[in-house]
């Protein structure tokens, strides 16, 4: 089998940030890297899970709702993939992520979709962990530009 594109990125050189991972037709996959790969510090499962619920909720309720194809965590627990249609500019994709992360950082109350009937592991949530990662990433993405989206 062929090595898929995301495995060809040199993960030793990858820093926290936001990158374009691949483009398939009109679908742009963004690599939102929240932890340094193989750095010994990873999102815990609860934080990753809560982050997913909040990030997806915000992005899918944003003005770009019709362009959001997918929001989901990486299995290595170092970040998320966000897949948007290419009618969202790079600048607006960065802004959507910044706005989403601000939403996570400031969130309080009941996590959306966290009832037993709504979720596959409804007890495994960590809101404080998700908020800490969002705050950290808001610093990383502050002033982020489209040029930085290249690996």
Task: List contacts with Zn ion (CB under 5 A).
Answer: 119
- At its nearest, how many Å lie between Zn ion and the CB of residue 46? 11
- For Zn ion, the closer of residues 119 and 140 by Cβ is 119
Structural contact between residues 105 and 98, judged by C-beta atoms closer than 8 angstroms: no
Structural contact between residues 56 and 71, judged by C-beta atoms closer than 8 angstroms: yes
Structure tokens at 138: 């808001």
Q: At what angle do helices 127-140 and 45-61 cross, to 10 degrees?
A: 70
Q: Are strands 79-85 and 68-73 parallel, antiparallel or unpaired?
A: antiparallel
- At its nearest, how many Å lie between Zn ion and the CB of residue 44? 15
- For Zn ion, the closer of residues 45 and 62 by Cβ is 45
Residue number of the CB atom closest to Zn ion = 119
- For Zn ion, the closer of residues 119 and 132 by Cβ is 119
- At its nearest, how many Å lie between Zn ion and the CB of residue 143? 32
Stated as kind and residue range, the H or E segment containing 70 is strand 68-73
- For Zn ion, the closer of residues 45 and 98 by Cβ is 45
- At its nearest, how many Å lie between Zn ion and the CB of residue 112? 10
């Amino acid at each position: 089998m062929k090595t898929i594109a995301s495995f060809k990125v040199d993960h030793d050189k990858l820093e926290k940030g936001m990158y374009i991972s691949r483009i398939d037709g009109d679908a742009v996959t963004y690599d939102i890297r929240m932890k340094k790969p193989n750095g010994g510090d990873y999102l815990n499962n609860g934080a990753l899970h809560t982050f997913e619920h909040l990030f997806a909720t915000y992005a899918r309720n944003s003005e770009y709702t019709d362009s959001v194809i997918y929001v989901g965590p990486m299995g290595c627990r170092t970040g998320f993939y966000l897949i948007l249609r290419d009618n969202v500019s790079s600048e607006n994709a960065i802004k959507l992520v910044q706005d989403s992360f601000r939403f996570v950082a400031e969130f309080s109350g009941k996590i959306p979709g966290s009832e037993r009937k709504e979720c596959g592991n409804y007890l495994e949530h960590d809101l404080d962990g998700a908020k800490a990662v969002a705050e950290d990433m808001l610093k990383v993405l502050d002033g982020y530009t489209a040029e930085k989206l290249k690996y």
